[in-house]
């Protein structure tokens, strides 16, 4: 029987977000026998997962090793990675990729039928599995969502938004729902569960120039923060060096690292190379910014003329739509906010600081990426940590009876930033930060922007993606220390326990 729109539904697990992390967690929980509610605010194409071009990093090749993947990830993380999270990711990613293959995701293979693994910036081996060339995210999310939509133990609430976390006695027992936008179908007013898993994606679209879909505004971080959960490393936002500069709505379109692995070059105004194109992202992004400041130009040139673009059909299509012929023209590119390293602080099973509340994927911060994410480690993170969180759910207590839980809570603070906040974050918390700019940002009307500014002020050094003009060097005394913030308290620098 259909549920009344206003009714509260009960299940074992609620997943919020239908990107790679949310759908894979939903399927994993359902396969383990749990009754799952998957709350998805947007259509599939609006998730960052759908847009992912590069692929999934996993030490799958006979010539590669988990130890090498660990070493590359730690090197990119610049002394800030949580080693146990790195080891979990690298050890478990191969098995999770094999699981995706069993679930029907068709990764690209070479002539012998073996996975065709790509090389990307910061990786010392070919270890990035692609699907459909640069359509990896699209292939993964399409296949997983088709399975979730037809799974008898997964109930999908499409067009429903998590409006608040439902807290009883300091524990999270579910969430309040509302239609995501005018015209969305009616939805239950609340979901009561043993465990709530936020998989709401990152916050890079809080910055004015971004590679992310508009919905990547850290909604899960706002939900968790207003319920009292700890957030970590909010100052660490990765800027991608090669986002398209275009007067069309394709501005910010990401041109994957993988293309640099296949020979694309970055050229200055005089047509000369100025950086090792396969250096880690923070190094390449800063070099591009420096070139732009030196020349006063709004972009540098990405030379794709020698690249076989049949391997990157969606990039070719986007460029042609923007009036650029990559066989002839240099492609104008510049950095854009791309990946949220920080997020809801979790342990290695996705547990947040609030009982009953978990977070996985880009909205979570396990400490895995340290001060700089290695390319293609985030889709791997989505599937590895979603799997680990689901394995931990068995220990959660039954949800309270509806009579004991009361009514679902009212909607919390809006997660949508004002336009001025996006401009302020871009101007004051971009690739290079000044203490004066960050101080100014602490007065922003949007709470998450204020927490980002305070975290950036607390980290008095330059490391990886966080660069401060007043503290231009890495301070080794801060190795392994993460900024942790909850409520209105000042962020603290802490080691993970």
Ligand X SMILES: Cc1cc2nc3c(=O)[nH]c(=O)nc-3n(C[C@H](O)[C@H](O)[C@H](O)COP(=O)(O)OP(=O)(O)OC[C@H]3O[C@@H](n4cnc5c(N)ncnc54)[C@H](O)[C@@H]3O)c2cc1C
281 is catalytic: yes
H or E stretch at 338: strand 331-340
Q: Of 145 and 462, which has the nearer Cβ to ligand X? A: 145
- Between CA 335 and CA 209 the distance in angstroms is 8
Instruction: Work out how close the CB of 226 gets to ligand X at its nearest, in angstroms, rounded to a whole number.
Output: 12
Structure tokens at 268: 């200055």
Q: Of 312 and 339, which has the nearer Cβ to ligand X? A: 339
Q: Of 350 and 399, which has the nearer Cβ to ligand X? A: 350
- Between CA 374 and CA 127 the distance in angstroms is 12
- Between CA 357 and CA 469 the distance in angstroms is 38
User: Tokens 């008898």 belong to which residue?
Assistant: 152
Instruction: Work out how close the CB of 214 gets to ligand X at its nearest, in angstroms, rounded to a whole number.
Output: 10
Contact 268, 295 (CB under 8 A): yes
Q: Could you tell me how many residues make up the chain? A: 497
- Between CA 496 and CA 60 the distance in angstroms is 29
Q: Of 49 and 483, which has the nearer Cβ to ligand X? A: 49
Instruction: Work out how close the CB of 183 gets to ligand X at its nearest, in angstroms, rounded to a whole number.
Output: 16
Contact 428, 454 (CB under 8 A): no
Instruction: Work out how close the CB of 261 gets to ligand X at its nearest, in angstroms, rounded to a whole number.
Output: 12
Instruction: Work out how close the CB of 168 gets to ligand X at its nearest, in angstroms, rounded to a whole number.
Output: 20
Q: Which residue has the CB atom at the shortest distance from ligand X?
A: 19
Instruction: Work out how close the CB of 211 gets to ligand X at its nearest, in angstroms, rounded to a whole number.
Output: 5
- Between CA 325 and CA 322 the distance in angstroms is 9
- Tell me which of 127, 281, 388, 459 is the catalytic residue: 281
H or E stretch at 143: helix 136-150
Q: Of 416 and 489, which has the nearer Cβ to ligand X? A: 416
Contact 461, 475 (CB under 8 A): yes
Q: Which residues pair with 283 in a beta bridge?
A: none
Instruction: Work out how close the CB of 2 gets to ligand X at its nearest, in angstroms, rounded to a whole number.
Output: 21
Q: Of 16 and 458, which has the nearer Cβ to ligand X? A: 16
- Between CA 143 and CA 53 the distance in angstroms is 16
Which residues make up the interface to ligand X (CB under 6 A)?
16-22, 39-42, 46-49, 51-55, 136-137, 161-162, 199-201, 211-212, 215-216, 219-220, 254, 339, 361-363, 376-379, 382
Q: In the β-sheet with 265-267, what is the strand arrangement from edge to edge?
A: 237-244, 331-340, 300-303, 265-267
- Between CA 415 and CA 173 the distance in angstroms is 21
Structure tokens at 187: 């939805």
Nearest residue to 304 (alpha-carbon basis) of 266, 335, 275: 266
Pairing state of beta strands 171-179 and 190-192?
Answer: antiparallel
Q: Of 125 and 474, which has the nearer Cβ to ligand X? A: 125
User: Phi/psi at 25 (nearest 5 deg)?
Assistant: -65, -40
CA-based angle 204:371:260, to the nearest 5? 70
Angle between the N-to-C axes of helices 66-77 and 83-102, in degrees from 0 to 180, rounded to the nearest 10: 130
Q: Of 55 and 188, which has the nearer Cβ to ligand X? A: 55
Instruction: Work out how close the CB of 144 gets to ligand X at its nearest, in angstroms, rounded to a whole number.
Output: 10
- Between CA 262 and CA 296 the distance in angstroms is 29
Nearest residue to 235 (alpha-carbon basis) of 277, 208, 203: 203
Instruction: Work out how close the CB of 177 gets to ligand X at its nearest, in angstroms, rounded to a whole number.
Output: 8
- Between CA 355 and CA 352 the distance in angstroms is 7
Q: Of 14 and 431, which has the nearer Cβ to ligand X? A: 14
Q: Which residues pair with 168 in a beta bridge?
A: 171
Active-site residue numbers?
281
């Amino acid at each position: 029987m259909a549920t009344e729109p206003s009714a509260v539904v009960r299940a074992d697990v609620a997943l919020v977000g239908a990107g790679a992390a949310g759908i894979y967690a939903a399927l994993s929980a359902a396969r383990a026998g749990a009754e799952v509610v998957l709350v998805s605010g947007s259509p599939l194409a609006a998730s960052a997962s759908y847009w992912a071009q590069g692929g999934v990093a996993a030490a799958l090749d006979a010539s590669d090793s988990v130890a090498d993947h660990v070493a590359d990830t730690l090197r990119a993380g610049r002394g800030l990675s949580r080693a146990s999270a790195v080891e979990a990711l690298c050890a478990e990613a191969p098995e999770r990729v094999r699981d995706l293959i069993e679930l029907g995701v068709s990764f690209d293979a070479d002539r012998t039928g073996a996975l065709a693994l790509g090389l990307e910036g910061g990786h010392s081996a070919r270890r990035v599995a692609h699907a459909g060339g640069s359509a990896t995210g699209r292939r993964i999310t399409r296949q997983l969502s088709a399975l979730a939509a037809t799974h008898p133990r997964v109930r999908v609430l499409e067009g429903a938004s998590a409006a608040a976390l439902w807290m009883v006695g300091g524990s999270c027992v579910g969430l309040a729902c509302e239609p995501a936008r005018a015209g969305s179908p009616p939805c239950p007013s609340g979901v009561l569960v043993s465990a709530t898993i936020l998989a709401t994606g990152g916050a890079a679209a809080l910055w004015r120039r971004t590679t992310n879909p508009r919905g990547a505004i850290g909604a899960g971080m706002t939900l968790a923060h207003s319920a009292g959960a700890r957030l970590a490393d909010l100052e660490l936002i990765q800027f991608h060096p090669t986002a398209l500069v275009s007067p069309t709505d394709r501005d910010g379109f990401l041109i994957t690292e993988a293309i640099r692995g296949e020979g694309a070059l970055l050229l200055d105004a005089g047509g000369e190379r100025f950086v090792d194109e396969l250096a880690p992202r923070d190094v390449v992004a800063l070099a591009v910014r420096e070139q732009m400041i030196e020349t006063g130009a709004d972009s540098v040139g990405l030379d794709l003329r020698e690249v076989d673009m049949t391997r990157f059909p969606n990039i070719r299509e986007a460029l042609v739509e923007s009036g650029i012929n990559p066989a002839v023209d240099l492609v104008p590119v510049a950095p854009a906010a791309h990946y949220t390293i920080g997020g809801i602080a979790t342990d290695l099973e996705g547990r947040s600081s609030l009982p009953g509340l978990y977070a996985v994927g880009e909205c979570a911060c396990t400490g895995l990426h340290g001060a700089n994410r290695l390319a293609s480690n985030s889709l791997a993170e989505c599937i590895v940590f979603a799997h680990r969180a689901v394995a931990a759910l068995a220990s959660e207590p039954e949800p309270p009876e509806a009579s004991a839980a009361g009514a679902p809570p009212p909607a919390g603070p809006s997660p949508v930033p004002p336009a001025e906040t996006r401009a302020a974050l871009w101007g004051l918390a971009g690739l290079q930060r000044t203490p004066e700019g960050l101080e100014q940002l602490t007065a922003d009307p949007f709470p998450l922007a204020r927490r980002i500014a305070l975290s950036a002020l607390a980290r008095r050094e330059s490391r990886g993606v966080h660069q401060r003009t007043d503290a231009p060097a890495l301070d080794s005394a801060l190795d392994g220390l993460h900024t942790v913030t909850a409520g209105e308290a000042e962020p603290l620098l802490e080691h993970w326990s």
